[in-house]
A and B are shown apart, each in its own frame.
Chain A
Amino acid sequence: MTEQEIQEKGYAYPEALVSTEWVQQKLDDTQNIRIVESDEDVLLYDIGHVPNAVKVDWVEDLNDPLTRDYLDPEHFANLMSEKGITPDTTVVFYGDKNNWWATYALWVFRLFGHDNVKVMDGGRVKWEAEGREMTQEVPSFERSDYPVPTRDDEKIRAFRQDVEKHLEAQGPLVDVRSPGEYSGELLHMPDYPQEGALRGGHIPGAANVPWARAVREDATFKSADELREIYEGEASLNAGDDVIAYCRIGERSSHTWFVLTYLLGYDQVRNYDGSWTEWGNLVRAPIER
């Protein structure tokens, strides 16, 4: 796949995606570009990664170790300095699981106003499938100067109270978990240790669009027309909508946030990172099955 093929997929912001070939050509441009691998399988980077890529671990690097929240601006600035990233650096994310964690890391970067971000279409699986070089060598970059940013939790992040208001206003919600989680049936499986939620089901009125429906078998994103058919044709969303997406802890829904925001050009999409582990435990929170 080339940049022209990405252009032909008709996205609102095609520049948010780059091809594996583009990354291949830019591997040595470490002055301007930083390639970031972010995976669910935390050992994959050690097994082999794209040359000159650095690793960002969503648990150890992006989460606050105590409070359920993301890292604070000071720690973000320090993380960027460690990775040799400046505010002007173009950060290209890729990872396993159809770029699930890559888009999650990207979303966190956006909270801190690092807007110069892209995703490598197809992620790790496509890079490997094409037989491109992988290395175990961990690059080291000179510490950069990254001023402490301001974290903006308003525009692309939703908290519980936002969801409650959204519910009152009958705003569109999209639940990107599997159909079993959405229906609540998983809680009824005997001896199945459920993680973190006392009640099963979904937030009333939420449409169910499992996140991975946005990608093709080769892990690249579907075209804009195909995505519109899913999100607008089936789930009845519209580009002008104020949308809140959620999943279990906000990671899968960051993938959908990326799709709606960058590929379909929605202006108002928020990721509810409290997601089902918060809502499914709330006393008297309305639930639908």
Chain B
Amino acid sequence: MERKDRISRLVEQASNPRYRGVLEDADVAMPGGGPECGGSVVVYLKGDGNGRIEGLSFTGQGDTISIGAASMIMQKVRDEDLTMGEVLDLDYGAFVESLGRDVVGSRTRNATLGLSTLKSAIRKYQRDARPGT
């Protein structure tokens, strides 16, 4: 895929984000990022109690990379039916590679905003499921 195609993919995702919206019965609503710098999102997560993801969505605003990449990670997790453990194992560098380093440049924090917030949501879910640990 050429650079302009990778950009088009991010632009399309940012223009029509997948899994966007509030998940009313979410177990966790995790904010991430900063509204004045790149972008901010809230990731909504619902688990099944056995490590699988039952519901996932996000809201937020930001630049093309932040929102486009957040949309893409939501889609990947749902399309591939990844477990919470598999999401926590996702490598930030590999995700940036999949977006295109030549597109992301130095904005790796923006590119991983959705993924890092999703990981935080999963960790909170796991902490809440094990009170006292």
Task: Tell me the A residues contacting B by CB distance below 8 Å.
Answer: 40-44, 46-47, 57, 59-60, 136, 177-178, 181, 189, 191-195, 248, 252
Known: A43-B10, A191-B124. A248 touches B105 (CB 8 A): no
- Judging by beta carbons under 8 Å apart, are A46 and B7 in contact? yes
- Judging by beta carbons under 8 Å apart, are A40 and B64 in contact? no
- Judging by beta carbons under 8 Å apart, are B64 and A47 in contact? yes
- Judging by beta carbons under 8 Å apart, are B32 and A60 in contact? no
B76: Cβ under 8 A from any A Cβ: no
Q: What are 27 A-B pairs at a CB distance below 8 A?
A: A40-B38, A41-B63, A41-B65, A42-B65, A43-B10, A43-B63, A43-B64, A47-B64, A59-B105, A59-B106, A60-B105, A60-B106, A136-B4, A177-B36, A178-B35, A178-B36, A181-B36, A189-B31, A191-B30, A191-B31, A191-B124, A192-B31, A193-B33, A193-B120, A195-B34, A195-B37, A252-B36
A40 to B66, CA, bound (A): 11
Nearest CB of B to A66, in Å:
13
- Judging by beta carbons under 8 Å apart, are A248 and B37 in contact? yes
A177 to B37, CA, bound (A): 12
Q: Which of B58-98 contact A (CB under 8 A)?
A: 63-65
User: Which chain A positions have C-beta within 8 A of B4?
Assistant: 46, 136
A57 to B105, CA, bound (A): 10
**Most chain B CB neighbours (cut-off 10 Å) among A41, A46, A181:** A41
A46 to B105, CA, bound (A): 13
User: Which chain A positions have C-beta within 8 A of B7?
Assistant: 43, 46-47
Q: Which of B102-120 contact A (CB under 8 A)?
A: 103, 105-107, 120
B26: Cβ under 8 A from any A Cβ: no
Q: Which of B1-48 contact A (CB under 8 A)?
A: 4, 7, 10-11, 30-38
Task: Taking A46-B7, A178-B36 as given, write out 15 further A-B residue pairs in contact, using a Cβ cutoff of 8 Å, ordered by the A residue number.
Answer: A41-B63, A43-B7, A47-B11, A47-B64, A59-B106, A177-B36, A191-B31, A191-B120, A192-B31, A193-B33, A193-B120, A194-B34, A195-B34, A195-B37, A248-B37
- From DSSP, what is the main secondary structure of chain B's interface residues? mixed
Contact check: which of A43, A181, A194 meets B11 at CB < 8 Å? A43
Contact check: which of A60, A136, A193, A248 meets B36 at CB < 8 Å? A248
Which 7 residue pairs spanning A and B have beta carbons closest together?
Answer: A41-B63, A43-B64, A59-B106, A46-B7, A195-B34, A41-B64, A192-B31
B40's nearest neighbour on chain A, judged by CB, is A192
B11's nearest neighbour on chain A, judged by CB, is A47
- Judging by beta carbons under 8 Å apart, are B103 and A43 in contact? yes
Nearest CB of B to A202, in Å:
15
A44 to B11, CA, bound (A): 9
A119 to B120, CA, bound (A): 41
Contact check: which of B30, B33, B105 meets A42 at CB < 8 Å? B105
A69 to B4, CA, bound (A): 31
A189 to B32, CA, bound (A): 11
A252's nearest neighbour on chain B, judged by CB, is B36
User: Which chain B positions have C-beta within 8 A of A59?
Assistant: 105-107
- Judging by beta carbons under 8 Å apart, are B106 and A43 in contact? no
- Judging by beta carbons under 8 Å apart, are A42 and B120 in contact? no
A168 to B63, CA, bound (A): 40
User: Which chain A positions have C-beta within 8 A of B124?
Assistant: 191
Nearest CB of B to A183, in Å:
15
User: Which chain A positions have C-beta within 8 A of B65?
Assistant: 41-43
A57 to B32, CA, bound (A): 24
User: Which chain A positions have C-beta within 8 A of B105?
Assistant: 42, 57, 59-60
Nearest CB of B to A48, in Å:
10
B64's nearest neighbour on chain A, judged by CB, is A43
